Structure 1
């Protein structure tokens, strides 16, 4: 932006013929205005003004550059005006995605209110627990629980989410309550896995006294739908590792019981993932800001319940 500021000062010096007046017009001191002109002259390698004690007059190079500079500033102001209009009246389609449970509990319920606030934005929501290829599938924003692994994307962290391992009381009565993280391995317990082609969740990472440790766990069956895992756990078929906000209601009701509370799972980050170039689209910033606020408020409400 410094180059644009230099151009604005240069244009006003040409039009006013006075460095101090141009500086005041651009809310800059005479010294700052003078430095901006010097930066332009150094960059262009030419002298832009003939200087006298009373007035600055543009050189031939200065007059030619003035015509081009005016066009540049007009184009910038036109572009800025267009963006302002979009921000005030955003339009177009937004393609967003989220995991099934996150989408059903947080993202999906917030869409109608977002649309009411920005009625000219069409929101197309796709829910899937599979890893979505944002670039090839034309996704604008992916809300996910996890880490950014693709360097061609950007991530805005929303909040860290506590996780919990839990099971139904009837399962714990039948199989016993695990006392240490090592009780999860060697087929001592049935761990219910979220698994699909390309899935990374073949292990659980726990916070032990020795630090973070990965435990390769196993179970009699798995699913690519995290809500199915929750239903299996509620039915007494095994242990699940879930974000606390997703199962807090069942814990409050006594339908699920937390275990290994002295060695809890590592927390997971809720984040918005988007392609680099898409962040210039004001709709992207609007949906991320809106959902970040909604998710913060709703998750905190759930955790306080």
Structure 2
């Protein structure tokens, strides 16, 4: 007897398309499934399955997989651009339809240098928590360059010129530099009178870039004249705290942001030198990638960073 029931069709496995889109965006940004899974807090197998189901749903390949790295196909690149914008719009919509603007919550990942973290940001964190108790801040403390997109970092605080023009940078302060040395060092070598003395009769504490190993010179300015000095050194460092500690230990003359040495100057462990020659000020920025939607919680954190640096007696206000 013939059945009137419709023919049975195998059902496609259900999946969370939004989760798959977020996973796809993270894989593109991180470059590997392993890194993407770690940043999402998911097993690698789950991320792999989500991408496979997304590709099956779209009926096109989004990623080229190799043993070392993942790259996007032409379709994947076009899809990624639309996905990033869609996810940003969705986050904005969620924020506008909930109480998150008034009571922001969630987790933020930022990265700052150790001196800024220890001297400025960490001491002020109790104030931030009192205002926004539902925001958790994961702070990476390092002088090394950070790939904001690949490492899923919301923002960084960095000094100097921002060379990557694709990033959004907001100037929040000026780092004022001072040249100084330990009394024990000055007793052995005498006090320099001009920057050129540093190249003839003195040792400097060296600082080299964590990124490329290049040694940074000292820069002096007076009456419109700018002078750069490298000089001899006994030891060089790629960490600001180690650099200052070496100066206090008497290993040579240092040129440091004032906020890092102010207490040492007050205690007499360091003494200013070449006071007629000012160290060139360095701009300080909070930086975030353009494809990171400036969510309510991130906007609040950025505004708070601007506020604490503007209030700090150890900083020079940012030039308008």
TM-score by length of 1: 0.67
1:189 counterpart residue number: 202
**1:126-184 deviation per Cα after TM superposition (whole angstroms, max 9, x unaligned):** 11122222232221111122221111111111111210010011101101111111122
The residue correspondences of 1:111-260 to structure 2 (distance < 5 A) are 111-186=125-200, 188-195=201-208, 196-199=210-213, 201-260=215-274
- Aligned counterparts of 1:163 and 1:89: Cα–Cα separation in 2: 39
* Gap change, CA 1:89 and 1:176, over 3 Å in 2: same
1:300 to 1:104, Cα distance in 2 relative to 1, 3 A? closer
Task: Quote the residue 2:106 is aligned against.
Answer: 92
Structure 2 distance, partners of 1:284, 1:183, is 47
Q: Could you tell me how far apart the structure 2 residues matched to 1:108 and 1:86 are?
A: 25
Alignment of 1:259-270 (within 5 A): 259-270=273-284
Q: Is the Cα–Cα contact under 8 Å of residues 174 and 316 in structure 2 kept in the other structure?
A: no
Distance change (3 Å), C-alpha of 1:83 and 1:145 = farther
CA distance in 1, matches of 2:315, 2:294: 32
Question: Deviation of residue 302 (structure 1)?
Answer: 11
Judging by fraction of residues, say which structure has more helix. 1
Return the alpha-carbon distance in structure 1 between the equivalents of residues 97 and 128 of structure 2. 20
Larger Rg: 1
Deviates more, 1:200-209 or 1:153-162: 200-209
- Change in CA separation of 1:167 and 1:103 when aligned onto 2, cut-off 3 Å: same
Structure 2 unaligned segments of length 5 or more: list them: 1-88
Q: Return closer, same or farther for 1:160/1:84 CA change in 2, 3 Å cut-off.
A: farther
CA distance in 2, matches of 1:301, 1:263: 19
SS of residue matched to 1:178: coil
Aligned residues between the structures? 227
Q: Is the 8 A contact 2:185 2:252 kept in 1?
A: yes
Offset at residue 300 of structure 1 (A): 4.8
- Partner secondary structure for residue 256 of structure 2: strand
The structure-2 alpha-carbon separation of the partners of 1:178 and 1:90, relative to structure 1 and needing over 3 Å to count, comes to same
Matched, 1:108 2:122: yes
Question: What is the TM-score with the length of structure 2 in the denominator?
Answer: 0.65
Deviation at 1:80, TM superposition (A): 8.2
- Do 1:164 and 1:258's aligned partners in 2 also have CA atoms closer than 8 Å? yes
User: Tell me, what secondary structure is at the counterpart of 1:198?
Assistant: coil
Q: CA RMSD in A?
A: 2.6
